[in-house]
Structure 1
Amino acid sequence: MRTFATSARPSTRATRATRAASAIVAATVSRAHARELLRAVHRMGAATHTIAPFVEHSPNFVDGRFHSAEPARRPRARVLVTALAGAIRARGRGRVVGTIPVVPARPPERPGALAVTWYGHATTVVEVDGVRFLLDPVFGGRASPSLHVGPRRMHPVPGDIEAIPTLDAVLISHDHYDHLDAPTIRALERRQRPRYIVPLGVDAHLLAWGVPASRITALDWRAHTEVSGIRVTCTEARHNSGRGFVDSQTLWAGWAVRGPQHSAYFAGDSGPSQRFAAIGADLGPFDLTILPVGAYDPLWPDIHLNPEEAVAVHQDVSPATAAERSVLLPVHWATFNLALHWWAEPIRRTRRAAEDAGVRVVCPRVGDRVDLSDGDLDAVAARFQDPWWDACCAEDDHD
């Protein structure tokens, strides 16, 4: 005879309680998933159909999408299959085995004459003639609309947004997730409420996240605006854009920043282009270039520069001064694994190419502030030549 405790048939009351509990758990999990899905959709930004009124007047917006002067071939199905196979073979190449050294960022209360602090990937704080700019701010843990899926940050951010003194403007190059991050924009709105200068259509995302139109300036290629006596010009790039299933609905760009005494150029994301020489001729030369050197691959040669191409771009935009009074800061590497190459390959190749070309390059740790104000550029560059990446890259990491 079975006791109640060992009965093979649970009581009706117990069965009902179990089913009720299961239903509550299922409903709770479903609601949590639904909330996360809604948050992810919100982080994606403006819906495609709402962007058109912001961009359709541009001569660069044709047949429902933006176009570069030189076509940027988009990966087709066969290329995507090849890339997937390559990603499987190259699994682990973009990772580190040690801890990436991060220096606590210490931006000065008053901006300098010419300085730059690398916060990782393309995120930088640039000081030009006493005016401070934040470029492509991504302080989140993933380059993704999801907090759980997508490229994960490989090192901490070197400083919080609230630790940056007053920003004069935020410059955004395009709307890909590794360059435009909704949680970061919300944090900027809570703590800084800065002015934003963006390419056409990116303003639609900012408006969707609650940024007032009065603090957004949206520009087409070669349009410009002023920030405390500094001219900021939107420049061409060879890339694409998109945060969902439809690409190139918003413009992508670089930024030329010129003050009374100093200047800087940020290329955003781009593949090789003849437009760089035109940018140099019209808007250059520049004292500082901030150029992407990572996330390249032969499968997508039109949308990301490789290291040798980045060094050539530095020379294109500052042809008369590249060797004399200009400095190259390589970015767009070390933070997110976005391609098939080895983790430290971009910086090694950049250094070799720069040496061969006679280009002055700085290789700071994440968080380092490179102060170029004193004019002795060789001495400054010499302080940022330590190959710190050697201590944390994989043993097989090679070019």
Structure 2
Amino acid sequence: MPPAVITRRKLAALLAAVPILGACVGTRQGSDYYAGPVSDHFDGSRFFNPEGEAPRSFTQLLRWQLTETRTPWPESFPSPFPQDAPPARVPGRAPRISFVGHSTFLIQGAGLNILTDPVWSDRASPFSFTGPKRVNAPGIDFAALPRIDVVLVSHGHYDHMDVDTLRRLWERDRPRILAPLGNDVILRGHHPAMVVETMDWHDQRDLGAGVTATLEAVHHWSARGIFDRNHALWGGFVLKGIGDGIFFAGDTGFDQGRPFRRVAQRHPGLGLALLPIGAYEPRWFMQAQHMNPDDAVQGFQLLGARQAIGYHWGTFNLTNEGVDSPPADLATALAAKGVDPARFVAARPGLVWTDAAA
């Protein structure tokens, strides 16, 4: 193999990938974010995935960033849908789901407005000058958002926990912010007045109007910098009381199907699964942290949900696959497994989905 050449572009990609993908080796003792009892997923210093794969090493990150070739993305990849203008409230239990982009959904139902992993910033990066830049506009203009009651934050990576957006939401609406253990310290470090309710796996919160949110175990990890890997927890959320139940997976690897079997056992008969289908190449590096579309279809089948919406693709260029590879690979996986493609759609910003069956 020829020696790696560190071009300016590769260096920028490397700087951006370090905190976004959580692939650095931390050296501090103890957690900067959480102090609590040892458990089956916390060793007193760091969180971990029971039975799962460990994160990739810094050496492996360098190998990926400096020796692999990415499929080029266009500077703009506009959605075929117009920006949504959601109603102020949606009464009744039938959900209205609007896709903003990447991992951000507006979930409306039972009179509540709930956002997942809200990101309205132009870059999913700790840097203002480099890092993955949005290639399409958010599916809802921030000014058009109705008053937000609840924000669900799945973990601390920059493409999911956007502190600037969370600050704007807090200052405007004072929503309840639910996040896994340790992420409150990160957010209060940027906005000391922000109130964040932390949850461990399987904790449940009453959101009012007969709606609950439960944090469920998925296979991932967290980091904001080079010394804090896994000092905060990660997870997905199950919402009950809207439709027949909604599972938002956050970020997860397939992990031999374990996350999906657990959720299906604890929450049978879900109506909707929101599942990531992007940021999956190269597989030797990404398999433990991000599903590819074939993994996502298997996860959907294990969940036993009626419908799935695929996200985490087509907005921020994080990995090697092309911008439009995920929906093509999803179509192939659905056909191979005999699943009606109408039951699992790849979302684009501005997509609105309603469940007439709920």
Interval of TM-score (by shorter of Structure 1 and Structure 2) = 0.7 to 0.9
Aligned-pair distance for 1:58?
A: 5.3
Q: Specify the SS of the correspondent of 1:140.
A: coil
Structure 1 stretches of at least 4 aligned residues deviating more than 4 Å after TM superposition: 48-53
- The residue number in structure 1 matching 2:200 is 220
Distance of 1:125 and 1:367 partners within structure 2:
10
- Alignment TM-score, normalising by the size of structure 2: 0.83
- The residue number in structure 2 matching 1:290 is 274
Compared CA separation, residues 63 and 364, structure 1 to 2 (3 A): closer
Q: Specify the SS of the correspondent of 2:115.
A: strand
8 A contact 1:96–1:343 mirrored in 2:
no
Aligned-pair distance for 1:343?
A: 1.2
Aligned-pair distance for 1:49?
A: 8.6
- The residue number in structure 2 matching 1:362 is 345
The answer to which of 76-85 and 104-113 deviates more is 76-85
Distance of 2:344 and 2:264 partners within structure 1:
18
Q: 2:291 aligns with which of 283, 291, 305?
A: 305
Q: 1:241 aligns with which of 209, 212, 222?
A: 222
Does residue 205 (structure 1) correspond to residue 186 (structure 2)? The answer is yes
Distance of 2:311 and 2:188 partners within structure 1:
28
Q: 1:125 aligns with which of 102, 106, 124?
A: 106
Compared CA separation, residues 211 and 134, structure 1 to 2 (3 A): farther
Unpaired runs of at least 5, structure 2 = 1-27
8 A contact 1:136–1:173 mirrored in 2:
yes
Compared CA separation, residues 68 and 231, structure 1 to 2 (3 A): same
- Measured against aligned partners, the alpha-carbon deviations of 1:146-178 in whole angstroms (never above 9, x if no partner) come to 111111111112333332112220000000000
Q: What is the letter of the counterpart of residue 329 of structure 1?
A: I
8 A contact 1:168–1:194 mirrored in 2:
yes
**CA RMSD after TM alignment:** 2.4
Count of residue pairs the alignment pairs up? 320
Distance of 1:351 and 1:209 partners within structure 2:
41
8 A contact 2:278–2:326 mirrored in 1:
yes
Unpaired runs of at least 5, structure 1 = 1-47, 377-399
- The residue number in structure 2 matching 1:256 is 238
Q: Specify the SS of the correspondent of 2:260.
A: helix
Compared CA separation, residues 123 and 49, structure 1 to 2 (3 A): farther
- The residue number in structure 1 matching 2:314 is 334
Distance of 1:133 and 1:49 partners within structure 2:
36
Distance of 1:236 and 1:364 partners within structure 2:
24
Aligned-pair distance for 1:190?
A: 2.3
- Measured against aligned partners, the alpha-carbon deviations of 1:236-275 in whole angstroms (never above 9, x if no partner) come to 0111101001211100100011117531001110111313
- Measured against aligned partners, the alpha-carbon deviations of 1:45-75 in whole angstroms (never above 9, x if no partner) come to xxx8996463433522215210012333322
Distance of 1:53 and 1:205 partners within structure 2:
7
Give the % identical residues: 29
Compared CA separation, residues 97 and 171, structure 1 to 2 (3 A): closer
Compared CA separation, residues 99 and 283, structure 1 to 2 (3 A): closer
8 A contact 1:237–1:270 mirrored in 2:
yes
8 A contact 2:33–2:183 mirrored in 1:
no
8 A contact 1:116–1:371 mirrored in 2:
yes
- The residue number in structure 2 matching 1:388 is none
Q: Specify the SS of the correspondent of 1:365.
A: coil
Compared CA separation, residues 212 and 316, structure 1 to 2 (3 A): farther
Aligned-pair distance for 1:352?
A: 2.6
Distance of 1:173 and 1:352 partners within structure 2:
28
8 A contact 1:221–1:253 mirrored in 2:
yes
> Which structure has greater helix proportion?
1
Distance of 2:190 and 2:65 partners within structure 1:
33
Aligned-pair distance for 1:350?
A: 1.3
Does residue 269 (structure 1) correspond to residue 251 (structure 2)? The answer is yes
- Alignment TM-score, normalising by the size of structure 1: 0.74
The answer to which of 346-355 and 295-304 deviates more is 346-355
